[in-house]
Structure 1
Amino acid sequence: MKKSCLLLALCAASLTVHADTLRKVSDSGKITLAYRESSIPFSYVVGTGKPVGFAVEISNAVVEEVRRQTGKPVLEIDYVPVTSANRIPLLVNGTIDLECGSTTNNTARGKDVAFAINHFYTGTRLLVKKASGVKNYADLAGKPVSTTTGTTNLQVLRRYDQEKKLNMQFSYGRDHAESFLLVESNRALAFGMDDILLYGLKANAANPADYEVVGDSLQVEPYACMLRKDDPRFKALVDGVITRLMKTGEFEKLYKKWFLDAIPPKNAALGVPMSEELLANIKSPSDKPAQ
């Protein structure tokens, strides 16, 4: 009986440490950041170096504030690659402390994790080869279509397919690069994903002129940094950093750098101006989820 009580107490203590990210980071002297390998321009890897991107810079700004609040100026940063499928489990179990990438803030995920202030808005569209002749979803009836495992886009596309009775033949990549490869190698006619990620993949393809982003935007969704639930102190810190970036104009400078100017690895510019939704969110920062 005593052993059982001790075990339960240890488990509870472990969960408490995980729930209090600042305490966990302060005790270990390390913060663990998740990154995506091919979510251009939010979080991706160039060559064999560290991750770069718009969301990576937001993460770095958060780390600086963590260093200040914990009094640990030499805080170690550990980078862990995540996929659409494992990012939430790795956050919940304490493997990673913060995930800033291309993750949609929605009510379903909000049952397991918390989200910071939204930092982007996007919708599901299609990346196709121009030679395919595909212009919208109806052109894909009975045809092979790729998307990425563990994404909201997969659910959106399946629902649309069922509603319209298109019988699209889905295949699933482990990450966005793998999903795009299915189109590149002609194993799928289209890749359905958030339009901004499709523009990033197109800009960095071997032959960008061969591809185009087409189709109606099926659903507008916000991106936000993801952190553990029931950790109001850390959420307040992350929200405070993002609000500061938005109010001081630093956010707009970061946006210009990653969405309007030329970016690595091919020094191609995406040329995507801020959406009305994002402009409104800068004026009145919100963590409101998609439904």
Structure 2
Amino acid sequence: MFRLSLPGLGAALLLACSALSVQAQGVLDRIKSGGHLVLAHRESSIPFSYLDAQGRPVGYAMDLCLRLAEVIRKKTGARDMVIDYLPVKASDRLAVIEQGRADLECGSTTNNAERREKVAFTVPHFITGARMLVRANSQVTRLEELAGKNVVSTRGTTPLKVIDQLNRQHLVNLKIIEANDHQQALKQVAEGTAEAFVMDDVLLYGLIASSPSPADFKVVGRYLTTEPLAIMLPKGDTALKQLVDEEMKRLITSRDIYPLYERWFLRPIPPANVALSLPMSYLLRDFWKYPTDQVPF
């Protein structure tokens, strides 16, 4: 039988305590000590977080994260704070935050109860719902009309989980395809290997606006979900969350967030310089009257 000597046991305990100390160190403390701030971003979640023609991460959520980064820089006194950018996919974004590989996820992630078991969220920056993208000549208007046909959604997303549940609970008989990202899903509809792409409607409008042939697609159907989208951050980092929540509430109540909304949802955006022309919904306006990180989902 293997036995650990007392000196060896002491060394092991010291290593374990050191590991726990590093793990327990909050983001703000790490930045104060000269660490980098890591922002996770998406590559095709237009207009929230995506790559422009030069391959740089841009978007509505990216702009918000940069505002939050500036508050973090000032709070920590890290005048020369370095920001690192880490690309993530829908399938790995939660793990990246949960494992501490990034400090903020700047994208289009839904704040829901299941995810709150693993990560934290700040005040929602958008409220949307899942609908269907189909080809312009499609006659489909309801999910039930796709019985026996291929329907695609992106791996690791809430809409994928919803259509899977609807399929099993109501025997809709959909043939569900999981795409690696939004662009792949759009391509499958364009090529006819899928009849519809189910995703948050704002992302669908963004994909259509940035596609080479926007007239080839349309968004149809009733809302299948209600999705409060929010920036994700590590669970348990109280100091970081308090700072981020305060700044998000300030941006909303001061209306400083409104020009950002107009820039990304009402004006032409890169790379194609096409406007989504998507006015703020009554759901978001009402929610922002009393901004909070608490959502009933």
Unaligned residue ranges in structure 2 (runs of 5+): 1-8
CA distance in 2, matches of 1:264, 1:135: 30
Unaligned residue ranges in structure 1 (runs of 5+): none
SS at match of 2:112: coil
Note the C-alpha offset of 1:187. Answer: 1.1
CA distance in 2, matches of 1:28, 1:180: 42
Please name the residue that 1:45 is paired with. 51
Q: Deviations over 1:25-45 (max 9, x none)?
A: 222331000000000000000
Please name the residue that 1:103 is paired with. 109
Number of residue pairs matched? 289
Please name the residue that 1:193 is paired with. 199
Aligned counterpart for 2:20 among listed residues 7, 12, 31: 12
Please name the residue that 1:181 is paired with. 187
Q: Which stretch of the first structure deviates more once superposed, 237-246 or 3-12?
A: 3-12
Please name the residue that 1:24 is paired with. 30
Q: Which stretch of the first structure deviates more once superposed, 178-187 or 204-213?
A: 178-187
**If the length of structure 2 is used for normalisation, what is the TM-score?**
0.94
Aligned counterpart for 1:165 among listed residues 157, 163, 171: 171
Alpha-carbon contact 2:263-2:269 (below 8 Å) kept: yes
AA of the residue aligned to 1:68: K
Note the C-alpha offset of 1:84. Answer: 0.9
Alpha-carbon contact 1:105-1:290 (below 8 Å) kept: no
Matched, 1:253 2:259: yes
Q: Deviations over 1:110-163 (max 9, x none)?
A: 000011011110111000101232222122111001100111111111112223
CA distance in 2, matches of 1:176, 1:58: 22
Alpha-carbon contact 2:149-2:195 (below 8 Å) kept: yes
AA of the residue aligned to 1:11: A
Q: 1:215 to 1:204 in 2, by over 3 A?
A: same
Please name the residue that 1:122 is paired with. 128
Please name the residue that 1:268 is paired with. 274
Q: Deviations over 1:228-261 (max 9, x none)?
A: 1111110111111111111222111111111111
SS at match of 2:53: coil
Matched, 1:146 2:152: yes
Aligned counterpart for 1:36 among listed residues 22, 36, 42: 42
Alpha-carbon contact 2:249-2:292 (below 8 Å) kept: no
Q: Which stretch of the first structure deviates more once superposed, 121-130 or 162-171?
A: 162-171
Please name the residue that 2:222 is paired with. 216
Alpha-carbon contact 1:30-1:76 (below 8 Å) kept: yes
CA distance in 1, matches of 2:168, 2:294: 28
Q: Deviations over 1:154-184 (max 9, x none)?
A: 1111112223322111111111111111112
Please name the residue that 1:87 is paired with. 93
**If the length of structure 1 is used for normalisation, what is the TM-score?**
0.96
SS at match of 2:133: strand
SS at match of 1:131: coil
Q: Percent identity?
A: 41
CA distance in 1, matches of 2:32, 2:92: 25
What is the root-mean-square deviation of aligned Cα atoms in Å? Answer: 1.2
